[in-house]
Amino acid sequence: MTEVINNRYKINRELGRGGMAVVYEATDLLLDRRVALKMLKEEYASDEDFIKKIKLEARAVARISHPNVVNIYDISLDDDNYYLVMENIAGENLKNIISRREKIPVIEALDIASQICSALMVAHRSNIVHCDIKPHNIIVTPQNQVKVTDFGIARAVSSSSKLDITTSVEGSAHYFSPEQARGAEITPLCDIYSLGVVLYEMLTGQLPFTGKTAVNVALKHINEKPERIRLREEGVPEEVQELVMKALAKRPEDRFQGALAMRNAIKNALAAAREKKRSKEEEDLEEFSGEDLDKTIIHSRSPGEMLERMEEQDSRGSQAEDAEVSEVSAHEKEENQTGQALKQQARLIFTAVLIILGLLVVAYFSYTIFMDVPVVEVPEVVGYDLEEAESILQQEGLNYAVAEDRINHPELEENKVANQSPAAGEEIRQTREITLVISAGPEYVEIPELEYMTLREARIALESRGLSVGEEKYDFSSEHRQDIVISSEPPAGEEIVQGGEIDLIVSQGPSPYGY
């Protein structure tokens, strides 16, 4: 492989290999940013029908903008190799995480599944079915943000006539829905089933079905019920087990009827698990602040015992004084000194205990007040005006701040919310503030003169202005040699919203018919 692809993407290192492609980290020399290049393997890159489908799917997915979906920037050809240019994510795929850790704790697993549901929700609303939800296609960042990848490529593969169950890509058969295994119609509920398998694997460290071949596994998905989670992993709550089993229902109509319904069930289970954990922490704190604290701080005597001993010393000193007045001096001084020392020691210990207990009480109530702040899901306010956004946020008990600088947005008019942080779908405590960025309206740019440029030159010229190539239409031309741009639609000199697409009319060379 050449060091620079298409005179633009400099290969830095290989990131990994999968069933369909090899992924590289690269630098986009034009825009000076890190990207991921997914180079399709030869059997896919040489299939024209597949390439046509993946172009359509990639174009559809590229329009999705969501914090839990890996962005696709471009799909192109270089030396007969097709490659996708994607967002480069710093993180680890979920399959490696499960293999390394063996299983994922309940709260963490539910949080990951909830974020995957958020990605599926936005995709399904755009009529995009992933078709290959599996841990290999899920990246978790160091900040525990989930990124789902391979939307377009998975859908294109699933619809390709080349793919059958015996040649399925790496690990996919273990996550296929019964419909996929039978070759039936693909619907969003296929993704729900696959997510159920992923959640099952996170909680137990095991797949619900295994076999010697992909066909064996597929038949089990069709005919067998998975072993219940609690038989494999005792620490999983009953409601979580039922949630997973519902997602893994054989009949699509028995599953959650969409990613939103599944995410709502996950949110309820997540809230219950967090409450249970919080109650356990409070019990541990109360227990520590009681008997264990006394045993830890006072190893020998309590303050009461020290005071009692002090009184006994005073009594003995008084009796000795009454009985033998003549021997008062040395003995009395010694007893009085001992009594004073004991009194001082008792006071110090008693004061220390009171201070420590006071600090623990303050810490406990501070902790309780903080932990009692409800956790809510951040609503979507992008696209609303500020007044509407404020009303939506107030319904969730959330406060907001407006960023000082505004940004241009290709689709939102001026004074609409163009961005929000944290993003919609994230779960936060009500004390956290939402930052809103307001739109300054679309930014318009002038379409450059593209005539007589090569396709690559035209693409670079457009991208430098924040535009992209739409359709490539071909026509005969005696004036323009083959693969040279004849004109553009809209034409050069017109203004268009930044981020828009420009269709190119490209020369096929002179007409063989002489016109």
Residues designated catalytic: 132
CA angle 326, 330, 334 (to 5 degrees): 130
Provide the b/e sequence for 340-375 (b: ≥16 CB within 10 Å): eebbeebeebbeebeeeeeebeeeeeeeeeeeeeee
Which residues face 485 on adjacent strands? 506
CB-CB contact of 380 with 333 (8 Å):
no
For residues 114 and 264, is the Cβ–Cβ distance under 8 A? no
Q: State the Cα–Cα distance between residues 336 and 342, nearest whole angstrom.
A: 10
Nearest Cα neighbor of 466 from 434, 442, 498 is: 498
Tell me which residue of 27, 43, 36 sits closest to 81, measured CA to CA.
43
**Beta pairing partners, 503:** 489
Q: What 3-state class would DSSP assign to 186?
A: coil
- Closest to 111 in 3D by CA, of 229, 240, 232: 240
Look at residues 71, 140, 151, 129 and name the one whose alpha carbon lies nearest to residue 100: 140
User: 377 pairs with which residues across the strands?
Assistant: 427
Backbone angles phi, psi at 229, to 5 degrees: -60, -40
Token pair in block for residue 229 = 């989670």
Q: How far is CA 371 from CA 84, 286, 368, 400, in A?
A: 44, 15, 5, 21
| 494: CB partners within 8 A, 6+ apart | 446, 447
Q: Tell me how crowded residue 171 is: count the other CB atoms within 10 A of its CB.
A: 18
CA distances from 461 to 448, 450, 474 (A): 7, 8, 20
DSSP 453: -
Instruction: Tell me how far apart the alpha carbons of residues 448 and 458 are, in angstroms, rounded to a whole number.
Output: 9
E strand residue ranges, 397-459: 400-402, 417-421, 427-429, 434-438, 444-446
Q: For residue 120, what is the enclosing H or E element?
A: helix 106-125
The answer to whether 308 and 342 are in contact (CB under 8 A) is no
